[in-house]
Amino acid sequence: MGFGHVSSIDDYRIGLLICEEDLCYVYIFSLKVMEWKTMASVNLVDFKFRIARPIEAVLVDDTLYWPPRVPALVDEGNHIVGLNLVDGKLKKFPLMNLLIGYGDEVRVFQMKGCLSLCCSKDGDYSSKVFDVWMLKQHSDWSSWEKKFSFHVRAGFLVRSFETGKFLVRLDSDHLMIYDPSQVAPEHYEEGTDIWQGSKEQIYSKGYLKEAWGYAESLISPFGTTVSDDNEEDD
């Protein structure tokens, strides 16, 4: 599933895929009307798709995208799956040979309003190399451009953010915010430390697996506004 604000219709929506045997059912929940709607069913025999991380979707231009799975063979083809939260259509978009040579870890995120991918591969001396690709033009799927690369030694990428910064875990007990625009690619240690474990916390090492971004608000989507109260009184 995935969630986000669809700006073109000013509605918060949830997109949900439920796959059973040879069929995939598409459901969309609208916060504006407070109901689920069955959009379509897709025959998986004809419409085969691969998603690497089903709960990690990103919304770009009214469409939810899930992290693509790196193909085991070159001739398997590369694609990314997108669900339009306005019309409920599920589509596959070509990635050409962009994923060839990378490992299993591919993250999707939005950067400067564009769909972006962070792909990993093995580097030198037990390090990981992360390449960040951006789709420059949403209507042109050949407009992928590699924006930058960065190296992480003895760790892994936890989360990528819309700002272009990354949350990285090093040596199991060290969290760091890394901004590639501020440091050279090979200087992975020059990030901003946000948490450092201790010897007493040795049993908690390795449990951090996921992180999410959030936005604070003083307005509840289920609350009643002052203007609504006044209208009821009238």
pLDDT at 234: 47
Position 28 scores a pLDDT of: 95
50: Cα separation from own chain's centroid: 15
Each of the 234 residues of the chain gets a pLDDT tens digit; together they read 899 899 899 999 999 999 888 888 999 999 999 999 998 888 888 888 878 877 788 999 899 999 888 876 555 668 899 999 999 999 989 888 888 888 777 888 888 889 999 888 887 766 778 888 999 998 899 899 998 887 777 667 777 777 778 887 776 667 878 787 776 655 555 556 666 665 455 445 555 666 776 777 777 766 655 555 454 544
Assigned token pair, 21: 């045997």
Phi/psi of residue 229, nearest 5 degrees: -60, -45
**CA-CA distance, 79 to 226, in Å (whole number)?**
48
Paired tokens of 215: 């936005």
Return the closest-CA partner of residue 94 out of 103, 85, 82, 109. 82
Q: Which residues contact 12 (CB under 8 A, 6 or more apart)?
A: 3, 4, 5, 6, 30, 31, 32, 221
Residue 71 exposed, middle or buried by CB count within 10 Å (0-12, 13-18, 19+) = middle
Give the up-direction half-sphere exposure of residue 139: CA atoms within 13 A in the CB hemisphere: 0
CB-based contact 151:188 (threshold 8 Å): yes
Task: Please say whether the beta carbons of 164 and 111 come within 8 A.
Answer: yes
Q: Residue 153: which of 176, 125, 175 has the closest Cα?
A: 125
User: CB of 60 within 8 A of CB of 110?
Assistant: yes
| Residue 223 C-alpha from the chain's centroid | 29
